Amino acid sequence: MTRVKEPPTRRAATQRRTASASPAQPPVVERAARRARTTPRPLSVPERRLRGEAARDALPLEQQGAYEPAPNRRDPVAILQGQEVSRVPELVPIRHGRMLVSPFTFYRGAAAVMAADLAARPVSGITVQLCGDAHVSNFGLFGSPERALLFDINDFDETHPGPWEWDVKRLVASLAIAGRDNGFGGKERRGIVRACARRYREAMREFAEQRELDVWYARLDTDNVQQLVSEPLTKSQIRKVDKLAAKARTRDSMQAFAKLTHEVDGHPRIIATPPLVVPIGDLLPEADRATLITALTGLLRSYRRTLPSDRRVLLDRYTFIDMARKVVGVGSVGTRCWIVLMEGRDGMDPLFLQVKEAQPSVLAEHLATGGLPLFRNQGERVVAGQRLMQAASDIFLGWQSVEGIDGEQRDFYVRQLRDWKGSVDIENTAPKGLSGLGEMCGWTLARAHARSGDRIAIATYLGEDEAFEQAMVAFADSYAEQNERDYAALAEAVRTGRVEAESGI
């Protein structure tokens, strides 16, 4: 075995350079020496606390609560239209229709609008891996590879490194807006936001005291929900949680197979429910259909390289059966999304994969990356962010790019369509239920940020008093009013014919 020596001291290196008979350093030693000179020394715990104190001196917490529209604020409708240039044109009106259901659904689709608003405000300077769209409906239940039912963030289309407070502000504003939509009073809404922000602050403080592995292994499953909410759950609420968990466990590939397919000439085929689900056979002429099927099956073959070796073995046991375009979500409507039916050992062993287009994060234009993209493939960006922030991720999570029939190269990420997925019905949630949900989201977001960022600096910045909670209450209330104005702007654009909207889809 070759023994690698310690990098030479400066004096020893000088002596060797002057001695012509001395042998050159092995390349591995030279590379180690260069890394030692260029890799920054990890900060100590006291230094990280000082970093948090300095950030708070530069941007006091009360300033985090301030929100006023910038004097040169862009037209929110124009921002949405800018996103839609690269989307499927016939689906864009569905996006507008879904956003106009309520101010809350508008907010769900307006991540790009809020990103521009946040970019106009000062920041703490402490960076984490952001979800990028951390509104309350982007948290929910799903199954871990070990078959535990976890509560976590479940959407990472906009993930990107950035200031930790952007995610928190996106979350607390969503709670305030949901509370308005549900008819909650001002005191109730402020209490909900305060509970979420407090849970984030307290959780970050707890994570700051933990070992690295403890932070990495932390997770929230359905068995420890009661430990995170301030007020004990009632028997009725416990029954609701149990019912939601039981329902989530039924939402898997078998359930999707029963709901989304029927038999045609003895073979399973995806049912057409246009415009939401359109099988490939109904979408394109035969020649184009064959080309696209070839491209996407090729994508699946090459995507397997982004999976761990054991998952490749599992994927190889499935064969392609059918595929369809599917409309998903609110903000994602118009991006290209496919569901792919695969078959395992027989016709009763289905697997549904979702192949979803990944475009640049709405945060990217506002955050400096040295002029270079973080990843060459936007699907890889989504997958990397998800794996970093989630306690556990889908076993089939991967990425790839493919050239469409229009000649455009597009990036995609792949995951299971359903894997014990469950979400809370926000519209029918009472104040106490929304408050408890907000606390779960606050804890989960703190854990995700603690995995990727300087949790000690953030905890120090947040402090031990309620100044952070007060700031988030002020911000959430102000931004909820801004969201109402933007919602009205989109409604006016539809009324005047500036944009089209299809409702009820």
Tell me the three-class secondary structure of 483-495, residue by residue. HHHHHHHHHHHHH
DSSP sequence for 27-57: HHHHHHHHHHHHSPPPPPHHHHHHHHHHHHH
Any idea what DSSP says for residue 422? B
What distance, in Å, lies between the first and last C-alpha atoms of the chain?
A: 66
Q: Which amino acid is at 455?
A: R
Q: Which of 450, 462, 438, 379 is nearest to 129 (CA)?
A: 450
Q: What is the pLDDT of residue 9?
A: 45
Per-residue pLDDT 10s for the chain (505 aa) are 444 444 444 444 444 444 444 445 556 556 555 655 566 788 999 999 999 999 999 999 999 999 999 999 999 999 999 999 999 999 999 999 999 999 999 999 999 999 999 999 999 999 999 999 999 999 999 888 888 899 999 999 999 999 999 999 999 999 999 999 999 999 999 999 999 999 999 999 999 999 999 999 999 987 777 666 767 667 777 787 888 888 888 888 888 999 999 999 888 999 999 999 999 888 888 778 788 788 878 888 889 999 999 999 999 999 999 999 999 999 999 999 999 999 999 989 999 999 999 999 999 999 976 556 678 899 999 999 999 999 999 999 999 998 877 888 999 999 999 888 888 899 999 999 999 999 999 999 999 999 999 999 999 999 999 999 999 999 999 999 999 999 999 999 999 999 999 999 9
**Calpha distance 311→292 (Å, rounded):** 25
Instruction: Give the contacts of 312 (CB within 8 A, at least 6 positions apart).
Output: 304, 305
Q: Which of 281, 242, 302 is nearest to 422 (CA)?
A: 242
Distance of CA 43 to the CA centre of its chain: 28
H/E stretch holding 162: strand 160-163
**Calpha distance 376→86 (Å, rounded):** 18
Q: What is the pLDDT of residue 249?
A: 87
Q: What pairing do the DSSP bridges indicate for beta strands 267-270 and 277-279? A: unpaired
Burial 148-163 (b: 16+ CB within 10 A, else e): ebbbbbbbbbbbbbbb
Which residues pair with residue 264 across a beta bridge? Answer: 267
Q: What is the pLDDT of residue 491?
A: 98
Burial 113-123 (b: 16+ CB within 10 A, else e): bbbbbbbebeb
- Model confidence, pTM: 0.89
Contact in structure between 171 and 439 (CB atoms under 8 Å):
no
Q: In Å, how far are 202, 224, 229, 294 from 232, measured between CA atoms?
A: 18, 12, 7, 54
- Interhelix angle 431-452/235-250, nearest 10 degrees: 60
Handedness of CA 226, 231, 235, 236 (dihedral sign): negative
Q: What is the pLDDT of residue 12?
A: 44
Q: Which of 444, 372, 362 is nearest to 171 (CA)?
A: 444
What secondary structure, in 3-state letters, does 232-289 show?
CCCHHHHHHHHHHHHHHHHCCHHHHHHHHEEEECCEEEECCECCCEEEHHHHCCHHHH
- The token duo for 16 is 């060797």
Burial zone of 37 (CB within 10 Å; 0-12 exposed, 13-18 middle, 19+ buried): exposed
Q: Which of 367, 397, 400 is nearest to 383 (CA)?
A: 397
Q: In Å, how far are 137, 250, 349, 396, 419 from 254, measured between CA atoms?
A: 25, 8, 8, 16, 10
**Calpha distance 56→38 (Å, rounded):** 29
Contact in structure between 167 and 204 (CB atoms under 8 Å):
no
DSSP sequence for 55-103: HHHHS-HHHHT-----TTPPPHHHHHHHHHTTS-GGGHHHHHHHHTT-H
- The token duo for 193 is 């936001």
- Neighbouring C-alpha atoms within 13 Å toward the C-beta of 261: 26
- Where residue 464 falls (left for φ over 0; alpha for ψ -120 to 50; beta otherwise) is alpha
- The token duo for 501 is 């909207």
Contact in structure between 448 and 390 (CB atoms under 8 Å):
yes
